[in-house]
């Protein structure tokens, strides 16, 4: 077994898809309501990854401005053909539907995208046969019309990518063993067969990988007799919800699956603070030509990651890891006198487009800090899972004093803790700590201002299992009123000493 760090991409990185081009790997993941959409990562060894850009840098590319929580950018697939990188994706709740983006350089810029009419579903895959015919294979979940919500299993159409249309009515392929939500299909030609890899069982604890094969990309397909071939449900495996897999050849000449999973904490494996992350596992081939999938092992990186962003010029926002909700980070920000200024417009984190710019929480233990300068507004440091689940600290100044309010919001319930300081800059800190041992249920969250603890929260309320969305924790800067000035954002993250929760 080849030893690589696992997760490959920690934190909010669900639905991974990977392609190898000239010995270099490129990987994309889902982003749902966040912009920029679909981060692009590059690796030379399938182990260490650099975030080189994002597919959707411009709001019009995915039009998620009014997409509901749980909608937006679903499950992209990245492929390479005839000198072009292609990313095919379904954008739910935007009117764009199934869209194909192209680029000569995966770092961007990417095209505005072409909608493919006749593909009514999610999780599209793109492949070409030996004659150059393009096939889109997808999960037949109807998104609109009288059949909205009905699921027709795995479907496929031949497509004209230039014209943006299907060339035939959808046909059913193979939809697994009968578990719910057959989805995330990917097709590969290997040896004498075309292999169809799908997910089934739902993206929660029942998530599984099943595989079939046939003589052509259109089938017919015969399922492996031992399907599902990979499933963590009911086991003590530290990585659960394993599924949504993409097959790739490794630098050593072997094979691997890149897939999503979660890291639930404690003996009960109940809560996963970092949501759905990108993992990898080894694949071998049996004598009769079937892939053999290894269980997903846990091997977090042991180094401490530190990132410090100061706001001396506009280049501070050039880092591709910044995120905003349903709009771009730069739409909220301006630079002034060494500060990042957020202009609040009375939008709260409960709203569809809060004034919020953040970054993924990537470690089970993290300290995130900022200094808020004397400001004519209200804002501070916050962590968002979705509109209904967030926590943080807000600073407001009036009559020569500074009020800091810490809060936690869970499914419409909100509790606050307040502390008054003399006027002046305030350092806000979010400390996230994960205890070890079987008694650990979730992490603990401490909210501090100028070194004073205002509140300590139970992190289980902001996890994949407690929140309805498909996202994860994003931690960053926010403003609800007026102009709020920040001097920096500092992130330090690390895993537990033993590498397990």
The CA distance from 197 to 208, in Å, is: 11
**Of 15, 123, 246, 495, which residue is the catalytic one?**
15
Burial of 251 (0-12, 13-18, 19+ CB in 10 A): middle
Chain centroid to Cα 375, Å, comes to 33
| Closest alpha carbon to 389 in 361, 412, 356 | 412
**Whether the Cβ atoms of residue 277 and residue 260 lie closer than 8 Å to each other:** yes
Query: Is position 183 annotated as part of the catalytic site?
Result: yes
**Whether the Cβ atoms of residue 88 and residue 99 lie closer than 8 Å to each other:** yes
The alpha-carbon radius of gyration of the chain (Å, integer) is: 23
**Of 120, 123, 125, 183, which residue is the catalytic one?**
183
The CA distance from 111 to 102, in Å, is: 5
**Whether the Cβ atoms of residue 8 and residue 42 lie closer than 8 Å to each other:** no
Structure token pair of residue 106: 């995966």
- b/e burial code for range 418-429 (CB count within 10 A of at least 16 → b): ebebeeeebbbb
Q: How far is CA 383 from CA 26, 257, 286, 476, in A?
A: 29, 31, 46, 6
Report, in this order, helix, strand and coil percent for the chain, each rounded to 5.
Answer: 5, 50, 45
Helix (H), strand (E), coil (C) string for 449-474? ECCEEEEEEEHHHHCCCCCCCCCCCE
Query: Is position 131 annotated as part of the catalytic site?
Result: no
Helix (H, G, I), strand (E, B) or coil at 29: coil
208-214 and 230-231 beta bridge pairing: antiparallel
Q: Which pairs with CB-CB distance under 8 Å and at least 24 residues apart come from 399-403?
A: 402/374, 402/426
The CA distance from 23 to 91, in Å, is: 30
Helix (H, G, I), strand (E, B) or coil at 60: helix
Residues 6 or more apart whose Cβ sits within 8 Å of residue 398: none
Dihedral angle of Cα 272, 274, 275, 277, to the nearest 10 degrees: -120
Structure token pair of residue 472: 């994860």
Q: What is the DSSP letter of 252?
A: T
The CA distance from 396 to 377, in Å, is: 6
For residue 210, count other CB atoms closer than 10 A to its CB: 26
The CA distance from 5 to 270, in Å, is: 23
Catalytic positions, please?
A: 15, 183
């Amino acid at each position: 077994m080849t030893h690589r760090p696992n997760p490959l991409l920690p934190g909010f990185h669900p639905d991974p898809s990977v392609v190898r081009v000239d010995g270099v790997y490129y990987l994309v993941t889902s982003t749902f309501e966040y912009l920029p959409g679909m981060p692009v990562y590059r690796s030379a060894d399938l182990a260490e990854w650099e975030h080189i850009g994002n597919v959707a840098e411009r709001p019009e590319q995915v039009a998620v401005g009014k997409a509901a929580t749980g909608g937006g950018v679903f499950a992209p697939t990245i492929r390479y053909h005839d000198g072009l990188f292609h990313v095919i994706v379904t954008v739910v709740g935007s009117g764009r539907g199934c869209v194909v983006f192209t680029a000569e350089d995966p770092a961007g810029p990417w095209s505005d995208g072409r909608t493919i009419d006749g593909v009514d579903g999610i999780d599209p895959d793109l492949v070409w046969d030996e004659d150059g015919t393009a096939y889109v294979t997808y999960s037949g979940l109807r998104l609109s019309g009288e059949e909205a919500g009905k699921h027709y299993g795995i479907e496929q159409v031949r497509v004209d990518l230039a014209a943006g249309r299907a060339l035939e009515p959808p046909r059913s392929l193979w939809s697994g063993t009968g578990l719910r939500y057959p989805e995330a299909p990917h097709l590969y030609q290997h040896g004498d067969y075309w292999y169809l890899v799908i997910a089934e069982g739902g993206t929660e604890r029942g998530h599984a990988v099943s595989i079939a094969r046939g003589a052509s990309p259109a089938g017919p397909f015969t399922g492996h007799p031992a399907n599902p071939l990979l499933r963590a449900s009911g086991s003590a495996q530290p990585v659960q919800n394993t599924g949504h897999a993409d097959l790739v050849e490794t630098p050593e000449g072997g094979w691997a699956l890149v897939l999503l999973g979660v890291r639930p904490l404690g003996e009960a494996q109940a809560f996963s603070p970092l949501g759905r992350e990108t993992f990898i596992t080894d694949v071998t081939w049996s004598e009769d030509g079937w892939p053999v999938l290894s269980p997903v092992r846990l091997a977090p990186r042991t180094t401490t990651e530190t990132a410090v962003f100061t706001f001396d010029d506009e280049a501070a926002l050039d880092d591709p890891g910044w995120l905003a909700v349903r709009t771009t980070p730069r739409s909220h920000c301006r630079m002034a006198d060494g500060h990042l200024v957020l202009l609040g417009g009375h939008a709260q984190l409960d709203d569809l487009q809060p004034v919020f710019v953040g970054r993924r929480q990537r470690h089970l233990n993290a300290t995130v800090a900022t200094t808020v300068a004397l400001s004519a507004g209200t804002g501070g440091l916050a962590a968002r899972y979705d509109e209904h689940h967030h926590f943080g600290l807000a600073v407001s100044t009036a009559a020569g004093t500074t009020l800091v309010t810490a809060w936690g919001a869970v499914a419409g319930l909100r509790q606050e803790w307040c502390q008054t300081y003399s006027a002046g800059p305030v350092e806000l800190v979010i400390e996230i700590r994960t205890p070890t041992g079987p008694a650990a249920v979730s992490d603990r969250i401490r909210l501090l201002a100028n070194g004073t603890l205002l509140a300590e929260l139970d992190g289980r309320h902001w996890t994949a299992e407690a929140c309805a969305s498909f996202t994860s924790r994003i931690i960053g800067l926010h403003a609800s009123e007026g102009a709020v000035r920040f001097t920096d954002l500092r992130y330090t993250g690390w895993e537990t000493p033993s590498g397990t929760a």
